[in-house]
Amino acid sequence: MTQETISLPIRHPLKLSGLHSHSLVRLLANRRVQLSLAILGPILFLTIFRPLLPLPGPLETNLRAMTQPPSLEHVFGTDRMGRDLFSRTLAGVQISMFVGFAVACLALVVGLVMGTLAGFFGGVIDRVMMTITDIFLAFPSLLLAIGLVSVMGTGMVPVVLAISLSDVPRFIRLQRSMVLGLRTRAYIDAARTVKASQFWLMTRHIVPNTIAPLLVAASIAAANAILVEAGLSFLGLGIMPPAPSLGNLIRDGQAYLEQAWWISTLPGAVILLIAIGLHFLSDGIRQVLDPRSRK
Amino acid sequence: MLTYSLKRLAQLFVTVLGVVTLVFFTMRMIPGDPISAMAGDNLSGAALDQMRDQMGLNEPLLLQYLRYLGGLAVLDFGNTVTTRLPIIRLILDALPVTVSIAVGTIILTVLISIPLGTLAAYMAHKGHKMLDNAITGFAMLLDLMPSFWTSLVCLLIFSLALGWFPASGTVSIDDPWQLARRVALPVLVLSMAQIATMARITRTSVLEVLSEDYVRTARSMGWSELRVLFRHALKNAALPIVTVIGLSFGNLLNGTVIVEFIFTLPGIGNLLVGGINSRDYQMVQTLILFYAMIFVLINFATDLIYRVFDPRVQF
């Protein structure tokens, strides 16, 4: 403990708990990260290179191969219009990944800016911001998204916005609480004594130290966004058919559960795999970047 | 304590007012207005105008807002547009189904996850890493399964293949047996999603308590391990568990919408999805508001319970 307080003002704050230059190496050496890459890597690879693979297009119907169970030719089987479900699932993963990434970025950036301002300046800004986040946090996340989508309409952009709106308040809260803890630290006072501007303090001394927990939160938010998007599409309020999304693929198969179990269950299993992968990834990032868990 | 409660109550009031305001003005942001969105192309201009007059949509926005607030204060949510029934009636009719799913889920979750979490903590405490890891990993897997997918898999196995539970059929509170059979699978599915969080928290808080001095004292007095575990350790670890029940209520509400939709149960979640599909904005607005109110009140109650029962919390 004493060692930490002595070394704090001397070292550059960037090196405290932020991103080291060799973070990436340590990240790749982490068991959980490796495990998540082993799960997510192949899925990502197949998704990115889907157009190059010998697969029928996701929208291509084939009336001679309707509702076929999984086989070597159609790994995930086909739906009632003869569309190849493996191809459709991969196209759905592409949408899921995009939604997850977009929501995580949006929540991270907006949360970072607003949370830093609220925590650093305090006072009226803080109180107004906290009241607003309180209001948004009063809605269960899926229900907020349902409400917003019912107003904004379905499709990619409304879905991303609707899901982000329930994540942004959480990020603002997180960032604010970290900034509150940092702004009274000795090294901040030290920087103040040499006339560092407020902008400098925020961008060079405070924000770098909050990046690691925000990244962990962002990877959790991405996983969550993928599940919420699937939920919305499943309810018929997200990505609309014929565009395949994991959620509406599952919805498609619901009516044929008895005759064709594979239509719903296999895309669902892929969602589960992605969720597990992202879970290990966030766990791994946390282990690597959290100074307390270092041995 | 009293001042704290009053302060929290004032805060709650501000939040609730904010939620109502947000919902009201968001619903007014719909391109056009609710009436033309709902009527589609079926009605002429004059008829639309008459309907707008009836619903007070031609008045200034602020007046509409105040009238809406006044209505809420006496639990008047207006009528549905399609069937002209009072919305509050529909909600009250649908509520017992949703409540029985939610309550059933909480009971089943507590029954499974608390012993499971305690066992994991005990194993970790005793150095049996394997079983602890197995329980923790199992809980994680349950947590990550999307509930709509689990629902379909359960439906496939328990209803279609084994035929244990009916997949459809009428539901009414007058027939508790039928209700229980229809609600069993949804409750199972939702519990699976909740067990993980609850078991993890139980494990963490019991594990923390197990290394306390008074647990060692209890052991040294020769009491059985079970008694030490449940009478001394679990009792003192109960507060964080109660808090988590409250906090995960939002997820539970999210889940009820999904399972009601899949298992075609006539709860308020199905009312919501139906309202969106028939573009009944009055209904959607009321239900979203209703969910938010339940969530806010549960959180408020959890907070107060925590403060009342934790002697260490100072006022």
pLDDT digits (tens, 9 = 90+) for B49-70: 777 676 666 777 788 888 888 8
The DSSP 8-state label assigned to residue A49 in this structure reads: T
Q: Quick one: chain A helix, strand, coil %, rounded to 5?
A: 75, 0, 25
* Residue B126 identity (one-letter amino acid): K
- pLDDT of A10 strictly over 60: no
Which of B17, B54, B16, B22 is CA-nearest to residue B35?
Answer: B54
Q: What is the mean pLDDT of chain B?
A: 81
User: How buried is B2 (Cβ within 10 angstroms: 0-12 exposed, 13-18 middle, 19+ buried)?
Assistant: exposed
- Confidence tier at A46 by pLDDT (50, 70, 90): confident
Is the separation of the CB atoms in A178 and A120 below 8 Å?
no
Q: How far apart are CA A172 and CA A244, in angstroms?
A: 33
- Partner residue facing B258 (CB), from A151, A231, A269: A231
What's residue A12's pLDDT? 44
Confidence at residue A112, expressed as pLDDT on a 0 to 100 scale: 94
- Residue range B130-152: average pLDDT? 83
Contacting residues for B233 by C-beta, under 8 A, at least 6 apart: B118, B121, B206, B209, B210, B215
Question: What pLDDT score does B125 carry?
Answer: 82
Work out the pLDDT band at B108, boundaries 50, 70, 90: very high
- Count, residues in chain B: 315
Q: Is the pLDDT of residue B311 over 70?
A: no
Chain B CB within 8 Å of residue A93 CB: no
Confidence class for position B4, pLDDT limits 50, 70, 90: confident
pLDDT at res. B56:
67
Q: Which two tokens stand for residue B48?
A: 């639309």
The one-letter amino acid at A19: L
| In the predicted structure, residue A244 carries a pLDDT above the cut 60 | yes
Looking from the CA of A184 toward its CB, the CA atoms found within 13 Å total 5
A150 has a chain B CB within 8 A of its CB: yes
Lowest mean pLDDT among A147-161, A255-269, A280-294, B91-105: A280-294
Contact A61, A81 (CB under 8 A): yes
Q: How many CB atoms lie within 10 A of CB B149?
A: 27
What percentage of residues in chain B have a pLDDT greater than 70? 89
Which residues partner with A78 through β-bridges? A84
Number of residues that this document lists for chain A: 295
Q: Which residue has the higher pLDDT, A65 or B26?
A: B26
**Inter-chain touch A135–B22, beta carbons under 8 Å:** yes
Q: Is B277's CB within 8 Å of A236's CB?
A: yes
- Give the Cα separation of B114 and B118 in Å (integer): 6
pLDDT at A11: 41
Which one of B27, B149, B254 has the shortest CB-CB distance to A268? Answer: B149
The verdict on A51 touching B (C-beta cutoff 8 Å) is: no
DSSP characters for A218-241?
Answer: HHHHHHHHHHHHHHHHHTTSSSPT
A202 touches chain B (CB under 8 A): no
Bridge partner residues of A84 (DSSP):
A78
- pLDDT of B215: 78
pLDDT in the model for residue A26: 78
Q: Which residue from A131, A143, A279 is facing B291, i.e. has the nearest CB?
A: A143
Share of residues in chain A with pLDDT > 90 (%): 14
**Given B149, B152, B272, which is nearest A146 (Cβ)?**
B272
Could you tell me the pLDDT band of residue A106, with boundaries at 50, 70 and 90?
A: very high
In whole angstroms, give the CA distance from residue B198 to residue B251: 12
Contact B75, B68 (CB under 8 A): no
Contact list in A for residue B249 (CB cut-off 8 A) is 140
The CA distance from A8 to A16, in Å, is 8
What is the model's pLDDT at position A21? Answer: 58
Confidence of residue A4 (pLDDT cuts 50, 70, 90): very low
Q: Which residues of A touch B286 (CB under 8 A)?
A: none
Provide the pLDDT confidence category of residue A6 given band limits of 50, 70 and 90. very low
User: Residue B226: how many CB atoms within 10 A of its CB?
Assistant: 9
Confidence of residue B169 (pLDDT cuts 50, 70, 90): low
**Cα distance between residue A58 and residue B176, in whole Å:** 46
Distances, alpha carbon A74 to alpha carbons A71, A251, A257, A262, in Å? 5, 20, 18, 11
Q: Does A262 touch chain B (CB under 8 A)?
A: no
pLDDT at A152 over 80: yes
Give the chain B residue whose CA is nearest to the CA of A131.
B15
**CA–CA–CA angle A71, A74, A78 (5° rounding):** 105
Q: Which residues of A touch B250 (CB under 8 A)?
A: 140-141
Q: If you average pLDDT over residues B113-138, what whole number do you get?
A: 84
Question: Are A272 and B148 a contacting pair at CB < 8 A?
Answer: no
Looking at residue A9, its pLDDT comes to: 41
Q: How far is it, in rounded angstroms, from Cα B122 to Cα B207?
A: 7
Q: What is the mean pLDDT of residues B171-182?
A: 76
More confident residue, A4 or A223: A223
Query: What is the Cα–Cα distance from B43 to B46, expressed in whole angstroms?
Result: 8
Per-residue pLDDT for A169 more than 80? yes
pLDDT for B107: 92
Tell whether the model's pLDDT for residue A150 goes beyond 80. Answer: yes
Contact between B146 and A254 using a beta-carbon 8 Å cutoff = no
- In angstroms, the CA A77 to CA A262 distance is 7
The verdict on a CB contact (< 8 Å) between B152 and A253 is: yes
Reported confidence tier of residue A107, pLDDT bands at 50, 70, 90: very high
Q: How far apart are CA B92 and CA B286, in angstroms?
A: 12
Q: How far apart are CA A142 and CA A160, in angstroms?
A: 12
pLDDT of residue B85: 79
Whether A227 sits inside 8 A of B146 (CB atoms) is yes
Better-predicted residue by pLDDT, A205 or A263 = A205
ipTM of the complex: 0.81
CB atoms within 10 A of CB B56: 12
A257 touches chain B (CB under 8 A): yes
Q: Which amino acid is at A232?
A: L
Q: How many CA atoms lie within 13 A of B81 on its CB side?
A: 25
Report the residue of chain B nearest A268, measured CA to CA: B149
Say what the pLDDT of residue A291 is.
61
Q: Which residues of A touch B11 (CB under 8 A)?
A: 134
A146/B11 touch (CB, cutoff 8 Å), yes or no: no
Strand, helix or coil for residue A78: strand
Tell me whether B30 touches chain A (CB under 8 Å).
yes
- Considering only CB atoms, A140 lies closest to which of B26, B262, B295, namely B295
Q: Is A65 helix (H, G, I), strand (E, B) or coil?
A: coil
* Residue-level pLDDT at A22: 67
Contact A272 B146 (CB under 8 A): yes
